[in-house]
Structure 1
Amino acid sequence: MPVFTSRRSLILGGAAALGLPLLPRRARAADAWPTKPVKFIVPFAAGGTTDILARVVAAKVSEEYGQQFIVENKPGAGGNIAADFVAKADPDGYTFLVGTPGTHAINKYVFKSMAYDPIKDLAPVIIIARVPNLFSVTNALPVKNVAEFIALAKSKPGEFFYGTPGLGSTAHVSTELFKSMTGVNIVHVPYKGSAPALTDLIAGRVHLMIDNLPAAQPFAESNSIRPIAVSTATRWPLMPDIPTIAEAGVPGYEAASWFTIAAPAKTPMDMINKLNASVEKFIKSEDGTARLRKLGAEPAGGSPEAMQAYVIAETEKWGKVAQFAGIKPE
C-alpha cells in the first residue's frame, strides 16, 4: 500500500532532522500577522479625540507592518455599540476597539442594559494616552484659583452650574469627584457634546467645566474662558503655569480621560503582545510623544496586564463617584 506524506509532514520532518525547533502554529501565525487589513473600531464620530488618536496610531502601525489599519467609526450609546461589536467579533487579531473610560469603566453605571462585560469580553492591549481635564470658569466669575472657587461656591450653595458633554462623561464624573472631595453644592447641566457646553460657559450661562483639555484649550488660549487648574496628578507640560487641582487645594484629587486598544477576548496573546510593542515604541518615541502632546494627550503605554489593572481600579473609583452622585442606570 502506498504511503502518502503531506507537504506539512515533510517540512516538519525536515526541520526535526536538522534539529530546528518546531514552533507552535499560533506563534507562526503571529510572526506573519497581519496578513490582511486590520480594523480599529472607534466608538464615536470622526473628528473627536478618540478618532484622532486612533488615526495617528493606525497610520504609524500601517507603515510599520505594510498592511492597512483601517479606522471605522461606530458611534452610539456612549460607545457601547462599538464595544459590543468588538466583543462579539472573531478573536483572530483583525478587529480592535479604541476604548475610553466610558466603554471600559463608566457606562456600566449609566446604562441599564450592557450587552458586553468590559473585563470578561475585551482583552487589554495597551493604554495609548491619558488626557487631562481642564478646570475652567466663565470670565464673569470673580475667582482666580480653585481655593477661591470653593470658598465662593460654599458661600452660595446651589447657585452655580457646571456644564458637561453629557451624563456619565468624564467631565461629569470628574466634577462629581471634585464635589465629593470638597463638599461644594454645584448643579449639573448636561449638554449633547462639549461644544454647546463650552459656548454656554463663554456666555456665562454655566459657571465652570472640568472638561477634556483638547476641547477646552483653544478657548482658554484665546481668553474666552479662564483656566485655573488641570485634573491630573502632574502639571500639563504645555501649560506649566497652571497648577493641578490637587496642588490648588484638593489634595489627592486626580482624574483623566484615557484611550486604550482592546481586542475580543481569546485573541491570541502573541498578536496582542506584537501590537502592544509596536504602539509602545511609537508613543514613547520623540516623534510620537510630540504628536500626542500636540493633541493634548500624554503617552501612557505599559503591558496588557498593567492596562487591565488600571481599568479595574478606574471602574471601582468611578463606581464610588456614581454612588455619591446618585447616577442611576437608564
Structure 2
Amino acid sequence: MIEPLYPRSRISRRSILRGAAAIATLPLLPRLARAADWPTRQVTLVVPFTSGGTTDMLARLIAARLSEHYGQSFVIDNRSGESGNIAASYVAKVPADGYTFIIGTPGIHATNRLVYRTMGYDPATDFTPVIVIARVPNLLSVTKSLPVTSVADLISYARQRPRELFYGVSALGSTGHLSTELFKTMTGVEITAVPYKGSAPMLRDLAEGRVHLTIDNLPASKPLLEAGEIRPLAVTTAKRWPPLSHLPTIAEAGVPGYETASWFTVGAPRGTPTEIVTSLNTTVAAFLGSDSGTVKLREIGAEPGGGSPQDMQRHVEAEIARWEKVAKTAGIAPL
C-alpha cells in the first residue's frame, strides 16, 4: 500500500473556524498597516478658492503644522470656481486613501445647495467629517469713496439710490452672499450682487472702488482694514468681536435681530480609513487648543474650532437648518 505523502491528521471544527476567522481578517491587514504608517508621502489639502482669502489662510496654517508633526509635506491645491463646487466635486471623486482632503466652507457643506441646482457632488454622502478648524465673523465694509460712516448712513444712502450700489461677494452661496441678501431683506435696500472667484480679487476691487460694499470674512478683510484701504462699519455676529470691539454689530447699529457668521472645516472623501481620520483630527485639535495655535488664528481674525468628527457633523446639520431659514427669509432659490 502506498502511504500518503502527508499523513492524515485529525482537524477539529474549532481549528477550522479559527483558520477561517484568520483568513477573513487578511484583507484588513494591509489597510490597517497603511493607516498606522500614514502618511508615507505628500498629502494635499484642496482649497476651494484662490490664495489670499480666509479659506486659504487657514489651510496654510494647518498645513504648516501638519507637515511639522508628521514629517511629510502637506501642500495646498487652490481649485477655485463655482463657489467651491469644482474643488468639492474633485475631492469627492479621488481615492479615499488619506492623501487628499478638502478645506470645507459653509458653501460646500450647507449653502451652495440653496443657490445651485446641480453641484457635482452630494455634501451629505460624499465626505467624511474630520474637524471644525475655526469660526469667524463677517465684516460689513465699504469703499472709502462712499460717503457713509455707519450702518444707518449706508441704509439711508442706499434707499435713496435703489439699484445704484453694487456689493461684492467672494462666491455665490457663501455666507457673505447670503448675509448680504439677509441684510437687503431686513433693511429694504436694493443693491446688486457682483460675484467673484474668491475674497482676494473682490476685496481689491472694493478698495479701488469698483464695487461699493461687501460682507465678507474678517480674516480676508483684515489686511485691507489695517492698511486703511477700506472702511469697516460693523460685524455680523450677535456680539462685538473682541479684537475689533470699537465696531458695533449690525444688530445694534440699526438692524435688530441680524446675526450671521462663518466657519471652516477639514473634510475627507467618504471611505477614508477611520484610523487616518482619527489621527488627523487629534493632531489638528491639539494645534487648535494650543497657545501657539490660538494666537496664530486670532492674529488673522479667527476663533479656533476643535471637537470630534461627530461634533463637526452635528455642527454642519445645525448650520444647514439655520441657513435654510435665512434663504427662505431672503427669498433665495437655486439657479
TM-score band, normalised by shorter chain:
0.7 to 0.9
Please show how residues 106-185 of structure 1 align to structure 2 within 5 Å: 106-154=111-159, 157-185=162-190
Partner of 2:14: none
Alignment of 1:215 with 2:212, yes or no, is no
1:316 to 316, 321, 325: 321
Q: Which runs of 5+ in 1 are unaligned?
A: 4-11, 14-23
Q: Distance in 1 between matches of 2:161 and 2:57?
A: 40
Q: Distance in 1 between matches of 2:267 and 2:199?
A: 25
Q: Is the alpha carbon distance of 1:220 and 1:30 closer, same or farther for their aligned partners in structure 2, counting shifts above 3 Å?
A: same
Q: Is the alpha carbon distance of 1:147 and 1:48 closer, same or farther for their aligned partners in structure 2, counting shifts above 3 Å?
A: closer
- 1:246-267 per-position Cα deviation (integer Å, ceiling 9, x unaligned): 3333344332332210111232
Shift of 1:205: 5.4
Partner of 1:298: 303
Partner of 1:228: 233
1:59 to 50, 53, 64: 64
Partner of 2:15: none
Question: Would you say the 8 A contact 2:138–2:217 is kept in 1?
Answer: yes
Partner of 2:193: 188
The structure with more radius of gyration: 2
- 1:32-60 per-position Cα deviation (integer Å, ceiling 9, x unaligned): 43344322222233443322322221221
TM-score, scaled to structure 1 = 0.81
Partner of 1:254: 259
Q: Distance in 2 between matches of 1:144 and 1:323?
A: 30
Alpha-carbon RMSD: 3.1
Q: Helix, strand or coil for the counterpart of 1:115?
A: coil
The runs of at least 4 aligned residues of structure 1 exceeding 6 Å deviation read none
Aligned length: 313
Partner of 2:104: 99
Question: Would you say the 8 A contact 2:141–2:214 is kept in 1?
Answer: yes
Q: Is the alpha carbon distance of 1:291 and 1:307 closer, same or farther for their aligned partners in structure 2, counting shifts above 3 Å?
A: same
Q: Is the alpha carbon distance of 1:104 and 1:202 closer, same or farther for their aligned partners in structure 2, counting shifts above 3 Å?
A: same
Amino acid at match of 2:82: A
Please show how residues 252-291 of structure 1 align to structure 2 within 5 Å: 252-291=257-296
Question: Would you say the 8 A contact 1:164–1:211 is kept in 2?
Answer: yes
- 1:279-329 per-position Cα deviation (integer Å, ceiling 9, x unaligned): 011022111111122223221112212211222222233334344545444
Shift of 1:134: 1.3
Q: Is the alpha carbon distance of 1:133 and 1:289 closer, same or farther for their aligned partners in structure 2, counting shifts above 3 Å?
A: same
Shift of 1:212: 2.2
Q: Distance in 2 between matches of 1:200 and 1:59?
A: 30
Q: Distance in 2 between matches of 1:136 and 1:128?
A: 25
Q: Distance in 1 between matches of 2:43 and 2:208?
A: 44
Q: Distance in 1 between matches of 2:178 and 2:89?
A: 23
Identity level (%): 58
Partner of 1:9: none
Amino acid at match of 1:60: R
Amino acid at match of 2:184: K
Q: Which runs of 5+ in 2 are unaligned?
A: 1-5, 10-17, 20-27
Amino acid at match of 1:188: A
Shift of 1:225: 2.7
Q: Distance in 1 between matches of 2:52 and 2:229?
A: 22
Q: Distance in 2 between matches of 1:152 and 1:309?
A: 41
